[in-house]
């Protein structure tokens, strides 16, 4: 579980910013979005292949 420790005098906005950065770094938000809807295995495979082709073109 991701935790953010605050020092005295730190604002809540700063804590939220830190929390969001840590969640993005750990890939939590990406995983949540991926599990939002069910994708058939064939569609997952197609998307993975498309991403690999896009990656090859940029390299």
Within a domain: 2: no
Instruction: Return the pLDDT at 57.
Output: 95
Within a domain: 45: yes
pLDDT in tens, 37-54: 999 999 999 999 999 999
Higher pLDDT: 2 or 45? It is 45
Give me the phi and psi of 48, to 5 degrees please: -65, -40
Output the six-digit token pair for 39.
């994708």
Within a domain: 23: yes
Residue 27 region by backbone torsions, left for phi larger than 0, else alpha for psi between -120 and 50, else beta: left
Q: State the Cα–Cα distance between residues 33 and 27, nearest whole angstrom.
A: 10
Within a domain: 7: no
Which pTM value belongs to this model?
A: 0.57
- Count of domains observed in the chain: 1
**Residue 57 neighbours by CB under 8 Å, 6+ apart:** none
Residue 31 belongs to what domain range? 12-58
Output the six-digit token pair for 1.
């579980």
């Amino acid at each position: 579980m991701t935790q953010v420790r605050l020092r005295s005098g730190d604002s809540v906005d700063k804590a939220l910013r830190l929390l969001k950065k840590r969640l993005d770094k750990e890939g939590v938000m990406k995983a949540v979005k991926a599990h939002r809807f069910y994708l058939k295995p064939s569609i997952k495979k197609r998307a993975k292949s498309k991403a690999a082709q896009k990656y090859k073109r940029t390299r």
